[in-house]
């Protein structure tokens, strides 16, 4: 460990300290050294966290631009080629559009990490249909269902709307889904 200072004690009215005083002062010096080491560790961790957050924000910004382009071009092809696309191709492009939207939301979450670090995080909750969210999730994983496995969508009639950031609903499924890895 580096030497960051010294502890010097003097007693102007006497030349020496008692054995007990010296032991107490040594314990105090050890506690100060430990406190200093912990402070330096915390400072290093904070600096590393800031660098990591800056890196993640930079990577997310770099990923967001091409992902927006993919999403934009997909929408363009869907709109402009509506008459020339087969139903299957239109459906596949819609799935690409949905998946790129979810990936874009995950990229934005990386950017949110830097906002959280800076204490500037805003939560924008919205009301949405739970039935539509379940349908969307099933549509995304349905191509991955293996033969002999049935994917059933069951949403009770009493289920209505929810109020939360909708993109958060997709994260658990996406984290287990190999399409998103």
For the entire predicted model, the pTM comes to: 0.48
pLDDT single digits (tens) 17-71: 889 988 998 999 899 889 989 999 999 998 988 888 888 888 888 888 899 899 9
Is 136 among the domain residues?
A: yes
Number of domains in the chain: 2
Q: Is 159 found in the same domain as 94?
A: no
Q: Which domain holds residue 67?
A: 27-122
Is 2 among the domain residues?
A: no
Residue 178 pLDDT class (50, 70, 90 cuts) = very low
Q: Does residue 169 have a pLDDT over 70?
A: no
Helix (H) or strand (E) holding 164: strand 161-164
Structure letter (DSSP) for residue 119:
T
**Residue 175, pLDDT score:** 45
d(C-alpha 19, C-alpha 178), whole Å: 68
Q: Is 115 found in the same domain as 60?
A: yes
């Amino acid at each position: 460990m580096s030497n960051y200072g010294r502890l010097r004690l003097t007693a102007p009215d006497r030349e020496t300290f008692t054995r007990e005083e010296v032991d107490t002062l040594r314990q105090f010096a050890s506690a100060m050294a430990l406190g200093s080491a912990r402070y330096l560790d915390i400072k290093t961790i904070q600096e590393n966290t800031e660098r990591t957050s800056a890196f993640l924000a930079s990577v997310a910004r770099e990923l967001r631009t091409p992902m927006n382009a993919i999403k934009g071009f997909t929408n363009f092809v869907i709109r402009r080629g509506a008459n020339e696309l087969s139903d299957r191709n239109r459906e596949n492009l819609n799935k690409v559009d949905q998946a790129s939207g979810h990936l874009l939301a995950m990229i934005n979450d990386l950017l949110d990490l830097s906002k959280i670090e800076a204490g500037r995080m805003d939560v924008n909750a919205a009301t949405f249909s739970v039935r539509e969210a379940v349908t969307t999730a099933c549509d995304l994983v349905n191509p991955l269902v293996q033969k002999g496995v049935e994917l059933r969508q069951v949403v009770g009639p009493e289920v209505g709307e929810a109020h939360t950031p909708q993109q958060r609903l997709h994260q658990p499924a996406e984290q287990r889904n190999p399409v998103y890895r």
